[in-house]
Chain A
Amino acid sequence: MANLTINGKALTLDVEPDTPLLWAIRENAGLTGTKYGCGIAQCGACTVHMDSVATRSCGISVAEAEGKTITTIEGLASGDALHKVQKAWIAQDVPQCGYCQSGMIMAVAALLNEKPKPTDADIDEAITNICRCGTFQQVREAIHTIASA
């Protein structure tokens, strides 16, 4: 059993403490927006916010996540109002296949939370997610659009 706070809800999940947070989110909490890409914290498809910090959920256990505030892609919007990153992603048609974009959006939201006007160097350092479709150009442009709004 693990007690996790995900998207503002306190959940008691029937998982072993060493279960990766990713799989507890996907299979026990039923929130499949957070994606499995590598399982070794390389690709970033599983990025969530843990206490507002972009975190690769495949690489930490539920035991480590207990007591933390976890936000997944499903919890990024405020009710019906999409987060500014989601809005920019739609307006600028960022995703291609979209599979990496939950993680990409969560990583970008965390960056903008910390640095509302990131430079290209800031983006290069903070956004290390893999996108095999190659949406990097649109990702960068969308971040700058949000920052200059």
Chain B
Amino acid sequence: MNKHVSPKMNRRAFVIGAATAGAGLAIGLDLPFGGPAVVRAADGSPEVNAWVVVRPDDTVVIRIARSEMGQGSLTGLAQLVAEELECDWTKVTTEYPTPGQSVARKRVWGDFSTGGSRGIRSSQDYVRKGGATARVMLIEAAANEWKVPASECTVAKGVITHKASGKTTTYGKVAEAAAKLTPPADVKLKDPKDWTIAGKGLLRLDTADKTTGKMLYGIDVKLPGMLNAAIKDCPVFGGKLKSYDEAKIAGMKGVKKVVKVGDTAVAVVADTWWHAKTALDALPIVWDEGENAKVSSESIAKWLAEGLDDSQPAYVGNKNGDVKAAIAGAAKKVEAVYNYPYQNHATMEPMNATALYTADKCEVWCGTQNGEAAFAATLEASGLPADKCDVHKVMPGGGFGRRGQTDYVRQAVLIAKEMPGTPIKLVWSREEDMAHGRYHPITQCKMTGAFDANNNLVGLHYRLSGQSILFSLRPEALQNGMDPAAFQGVAQSGEAAFGYSVPNLLVEHAMRNPHVPPGFWRGVNVNHNAIYMECFMDELAHSVGQDPLEFRRKLMGNHPKHLAVLNAVAEKIGWTTPAPKGVYRGIAQVMGYGSYVAGAAEISVTDNSKIKVHRIVASTDPGYVVNPAQVERQIAGSFVYGLSALFYGGCTVKDGKIEQTNFDTYNSMRINEMPKVESVMVPSGGFWGGVGEPTIGVAAPAVLNAYFAATGKRIRSVPLRDQNITFA
């Protein structure tokens, strides 16, 4: 019944790897290498290096390889480059290199992938070096012109000065000469304590067009002669397209062509998308739904529940001591089973891509979180080589992990291939988007805590059962079959390490992969692991009559950074002072994406079923904060995303299909339900963590633990929608 998804070959790794054989120079710094051939931007301005173009009018164009999707890292990365470059921030603009350009230059811009809260933390080192290297070269060019030592020159806001002679010049004037110089072998980066552009809550660089309707999203792309396509893929994952009756829609207005897309989907191409969608809805389609049509939420739940049993095989992710002996010898034992459902990313802009295919070229315009993956999908679907393809990134209307996948790019290219020379814009309906997500993985978790006679927690058994994202999307990253990412937040060490010391610990995962395709859903495995662990910590504390904060603190002596954010939140919300009458508090902490986060909520509950969230406090230690205003927005947004999932999210399966079709059955929080989030940033330095995702993990358990404080009832199943609990 529940079919395992077959691991696929990683096409992206293959295509990009093949295209970049022989690469290996320092990212972004291997050009221009002092040769006579200055590399030029499209407008003819010289590249000082791949990250920095300076125009004659002193405008500095900073190249950004990672994708902006609302999280603000385009601005943050530009701040880091500008900081080292010492340019005038008011003259900074940004530009996306295309993945085709990058591959043609041996991946000079490095990794394009923008997921895992890596946008800044994984590229900060080389983009800062890009800025610093350019600064050194620009100063050297001025010094050469003046025939003075570069060491006697200083720079501020893009103006270079030689104090002794009183000479000054600007970056724009010396960029051409700088581009011909040999880059310095090594540059020293600034101590973040000395930052003046980075570290500040500067306004984003991309806001104005978002207020006037001018910002170009994928769905807005217009090309001469373009046609529009609407698509339906087999609603049962793994099923196929059997047949469709094209004659039935032949006379419908605007319809140009009906295209079979791969083995599983059919698209209608028309003059407008509305005509395409209208005709597609009228098209009789017969699906070969296959065996997966027998799968339901109930059958999946049953299968996962079986995985909670110790007799079933499981991968061990974190272990010390002998938990089974500790539980067997416990003075007191506490046990609970939790579950977390599928979730759709529900980006505000449904999936879409525009493709233009000709016999010797294929170009794609789309919002994507991974330009190189979209590029690889374009190569694969078009059958054309890397030098005949390119992808033009436009603003995505939300990503949240969904746009790291390239299914919609592949579809657009396959349709365009059927109509060479005609640009095709493929736009999914919201219903298609709900039916064909890459869903937050479904899991259950059984936890057992063991206490000694003095109410000390001496054993903890954490047994997950459920889906692995890597098994489906990155099987090459499995370790002897184990999905290491399944243990995010409860891992032994690393960027998502468990924050408690328990003498006997066993964390394991019984991998069970239903047919519903999983994906990297903002926060990913941290989300459910944090709910399970932090709600269970609360249960353990209450079971021995201890304060949930104090109970945690006793287990966190070896985890000072985890503890520091927890303490920051406790202090800010006033944990040790009474809450207002009728208001109850909950608290949670977790580590994910290299950052330490904690959250606390104050709520009131009416009739055990109406929750009002009065106050949220959140703390984060991401090591360094590049733009505090944007970090604050990511923290607040994480609560909106996490609490929307807690209250309203949850995709259920019937007859092998997702039941929710739109925002009427898959609701999302509105402004009236969301209190102000008070964020406390405690960057401790020495490491670089991400901020877009980790806080989502603490949103739900903070509220669920407050719900228990208010009602004495423990909720172990998400979403609250299914338990008739909603916002007041």
Contact = CB atoms under 8 A, between A and B. Distances in A.
Contacts of B674: 134, 136-137
Contact of B211 (A23, A100, A105, A123): A105
B637 A28 contact: no
Query: Which of A19, A20, A30, A34 has the most chain B CB atoms inside 10 A of its CB?
Result: A19
B274 A133 contact: no
A95 to B, nearest CB: 4
Nearest to A76: B212
Given A38-B662, A100-B348, A138 B633 contact: yes
B703 to A, nearest CB: 15
Contacts of B71: 96
B347 A40 contact: no
Contact of B213 (A16, A31, A100, A130): A31
Interface in A16-53: 16, 19-20, 23, 27-28, 30-40, 42-43, 45
B51 interface: no
Given A42-B663, A123-B671, A138-B633, A35 B207 contact: no
Given A16-B253, A35-B397, A86-B211, A134 B220 contact: no
Contact of B219 (A32, A96, A100): A32
Contacts of B209: 98
Nearest to B642: A134
A132 B343 CA distance: 13
Contacts of B668: 43, 130, 132
B275 to A, nearest CB: 9
A45 B430 contact: no
Which interface class (under 10, 10 to 19, 20 to 34, 35 or more) fits B?
A: 35 or more
A70 B182 CA distance: 59
A145 B364 CA distance: 41
Given A97-B397, A139-B671, A134 B212 contact: no
Contact of B671 (A23, A40, A85, A127): A127
Interface string A119-145: 000011101111111111111100000
Contact of B273 (A23, A94, A134): A23
Interface residues of A, number: 58
Contacts of B498: none
Given A82-B211, A137-B677, A140-B671, A38 B430 contact: yes
A27 to B, nearest CB: 4
A31 B67 CA distance: 25
B348 A35 contact: yes
B663 A130 contact: yes
Contact of A38 (B212, B663, B670): B663
A102 interface: yes
Nearest to B228: A27
B621 to A, nearest CB: 21
Contact of B220 (A32, A96, A140): A32
Contact of A40 (B253, B272, B644, B662): B662
A33 B676 contact: no
Contacts of A86: 211-212
A99 B397 contact: yes
A5 to B, nearest CB: 18
A36 B219 contact: yes
A42 B664 contact: yes
A32 B213 contact: yes
Interface string B300-312: 0000000000000
A96 B70 contact: yes
A43 B219 CA distance: 17
Contacts of B219: 32, 35-36
B429 interface: yes
A72 interface: yes
Interface string B182-219: 00000000000000000000011011111111110101
A132 B347 contact: yes
B73 to A, nearest CB: 11
Query: Which of B70, B209, B629, B664 has the most chain A CB atoms inside 10 A of its CB?
Result: B70
A58 B592 CA distance: 39
A127 to B, nearest CB: 5
Interface in B146-176: none
B396 interface: yes
Contacts of A30: 222
Interface string B605-647: 0000000000000000000000001000100111111001000
22 contacts: A30-B222, A31-B213, A32-B219, A35-B217, A35-B349, A35-B397, A37-B349, A37-B350, A37-B663, A38-B430, A39-B429, A86-B212, A95-B70, A96-B637, A97-B347, A97-B396, A98-B70, A98-B211, A99-B347, A129-B671, A133-B640, A138-B633
Interface of A: 16, 19-20, 23, 27-28, 30-40, 42-43, 45, 72-74, 76-77, 82, 85-86, 89-90, 93-102, 105, 123-125, 127-140
Interface of B: 69-72, 203-204, 206-215, 217, 219-220, 222, 228, 253, 272-274, 346-350, 395-400, 427, 429-430, 629, 633, 636-641, 644, 662-664, 668-672, 674, 676-677
5 interchain residue pairs of minimum CB distance: A33-B213, A134-B640, A99-B397, A97-B70, A98-B210
